[in-house]
Amino acid sequence: MKYTKSFIFITLAAALALSSCSGLPKGSGGGGGGGGNKAKVSLVLVSDTLPANLGIISFKVAITSVVLTSKSGVTSTLDLGALNSGAGLIVDLARAQSDSIFLGTVLNVPTGTDSNSTITVHFTSAQLAFFNGTGAAITNLNPQCPANNVCSVPFTTTGVPVATLSVLVPGNTGFGIDFNLKNAITLTGTSLSVNFSNSGTNNVISAFTLPRQNSNLAAGKLDLIEDFTGVATVTGTSVTIASQPKAGRGSITALSTSTTVFDQDPSQTLCPNGTTQLTSCVASNQAASMDAILNSDGTFAVQEIEPLLASPVVDTVEGTVVSNASNGTQFSIITTDLLPAATNSKIGSLGLGDPVNVTLSSIVTGGFLVDTKGLAVGGAIGNFKGASDTSALHLGQSVAIHITSFTAASGTTSASANTNSVTLRWSRFISTVSIASSPAFTVSALPGYFGFTQASTFQIQTFSGTQGTVGVTNLDGVTSTGNLIQGNPVGVRALFIEDAGNTLNPAFFAAKVRQH
């Protein structure tokens, strides 16, 4: 490991696209033999099971390949090594707590009796940003990570995990790869390590067949890839969203359909209400966010899409708030997404998991915005929208900031930036179900970087209705939040809106709920 960056944890003051169009490489069969029919197998990644007393804010890993091996030894490989200038596909496992991450589609996979037997995932680099809630300093890091601090640490990875999945492949299908965060991150005494080897019952990865039970998807649909952000290219009813190299997720091409939801951007100046056509909502070279349905043949359909930034895109960094000064102008984030400017970007040195110290300067009128994604958050929005200083910010919120000036990190000194606008976006976390009910349910044991005790409970508001329609919470693993399992973990992607006294109830407005 190279370095550690720490922040003092400060309490807040008061229709379908062809699979060949996807920007991710398509795998091909290999190894000889096999015979018989071949199929397309799409792969997604999810994560679960948190390590004790470590609040995972970002866990960036790079994947260079995924290899499927049939019972007779025929290999089919998804080669990702050429992506992002040879770095591979860059994945934030913290994002996968609530959302599925699309890895790609493998072609020519044997079907029938010679179907899949193992899935091998090749990881390279890793960077972990976390809140140290262990009560003691973690001493094997350089510098050490003090108790109750947020630290960001790169690790050299070891181990090549292999998941066994002895299933028949009757035709085009998909597999999910489940990454166990607890088994990959080990705290022994005051030493922290990362290891990706599957070892007996402590498997880092396991696999399952898509779609998951109670996925709430129609027949022929494998999964929902949500909040896929990047720069758009629009042609008729087709849109390609390309993430930028440092964000590393590749690109997805999808077709809009008669049921596609078109949402306004946070500023409500793009994509007029009542829009029914893709080209009337999103334009090429704008930044956009898309929820896309992954079909069994590896193609995608747009479930929901919204523009985020007009063209030309300006330097924008999204991150989780991890400290907030009492002076009303300064706060700190851990980077979770990046949208570099189309030209002359200032943030080329910044990557996922990196800390940034932020100063508000010359906030533009209406500079505090909320990306509601059509959810009816009601009067709670007034606790953030229209604000002019950091009193609206709370630990654990996810915000997107427009960078007006930037100073790169140097040694153990974190990067710093000025901003003139702040947009509230989606906090992703795993917590414990305390009360299962609908439309609001109750959780406890929020990750430590939110700044609450583990015993504190919070209502999470969901929005009922037909899945995939405007303003409705996407459910995964349950058909109703009333069916959540009390005491079990639940993955949530939600807007976190609070007042100065932390008295709002509910304070979380969920776009996604996943039963783990």
CA–CA separation, 351 vs 330, rounded Å?
21
Residues 6+ apart with CB under 8 A from 67: 75, 76, 77, 78, 119, 120, 122
Beta carbons of 303 and 289 less than 8 angstroms apart: no
| Amino acid 156: pLDDT | 85
| pTM for this prediction | 0.93
pLDDT digits (tens, 9 = 90+) for 89-132: 999 999 999 999 999 999 999 999 889 999 999 999 899 999 99
| Amino acid 28: pLDDT | 62
DSSP bridge partners of 417: 358, 406
Going by the DSSP 8-state scheme, the letter that residue 198 receives in this structure is -
Longest dimension (CA), the chain: 69
The reply to whether domains 221-309 and 316-425 share a CATH topology is yes
Amino acid (1-letter code) at residue 502: N
Beta carbons of 496 and 410 less than 8 angstroms apart: no
Phi and psi angles of residue 45, each rounded to the nearest 5 degrees, phi first: -125, 135
Residues 6+ apart with CB under 8 A from 123: 61, 62, 63, 64, 157, 159, 160, 161, 196
CA nearest neighbour of 152 among 400, 409, 329: 409
Residues 6+ apart with CB under 8 A from 258: none
H or E segment at 385? none
For residue 307, cis peptide bond before it (omega within 30 degrees of 0): no
CA nearest neighbour of 493 among 475, 510, 481: 510
| Amino acid 221: pLDDT | 97
What the block records as the tokens of 490 is: 């639940």
CA–CA separation, 435 vs 301, rounded Å?
35
pLDDT digits (tens, 9 = 90+) for 359-370: 998 877 678 999
User: Is CATH 3.50.50.60 the classification given to domain 316-425?
Assistant: no
Three-state secondary-structure class, residue 90: strand
| Amino acid 17: pLDDT | 35
| Amino acid 46: pLDDT | 98
Q: What percent of the chain has pLDDT over 70?
A: 93
Residues 6+ apart with CB under 8 A from 140: 190, 191, 192, 193
CA nearest neighbour of 153 among 164, 138, 163, 167: 138
CA–CA separation, 333 vs 354, rounded Å?
8
Number of C-beta neighbours around residue 86 at 10 A? 10
Q: What angle do CA 42, 282, 508 make, to 5 degrees?
A: 70
CA nearest neighbour of 355 among 326, 389, 319: 319
Domain extents in the chain:
5-209, 221-309, 316-425, 427-515
Residues shown for the chain: 516
Strands 238-242 and 221-235 turn out to be antiparallel
Q: What is the CATH number of domain 427-515?
A: 2.40.50
Q: What average pLDDT does range 425-439 have in this prediction?
A: 98
For residue 143, cis peptide bond before it (omega within 30 degrees of 0): yes
CA–CA separation, 42 vs 175, rounded Å?
6
Q: What is the CATH number of domain 221-309?
A: 2.40.50.320
| Amino acid 3: pLDDT | 39
DSSP bridge partners of 272: none
**Whether pLDDT at 18 is above 70:** no
| Amino acid 363: pLDDT | 78
pLDDT digits (tens, 9 = 90+) for 211-267: 999 999 999 999 999 999 999 999 999 999 999 998 999 999 999 999 999 999 999
CA nearest neighbour of 62 among 229, 226, 247, 320: 247
pLDDT digits (tens, 9 = 90+) for 478-500: 999 999 999 999 999 999 999 99
CA nearest neighbour of 124 among 75, 159, 77, 153: 159
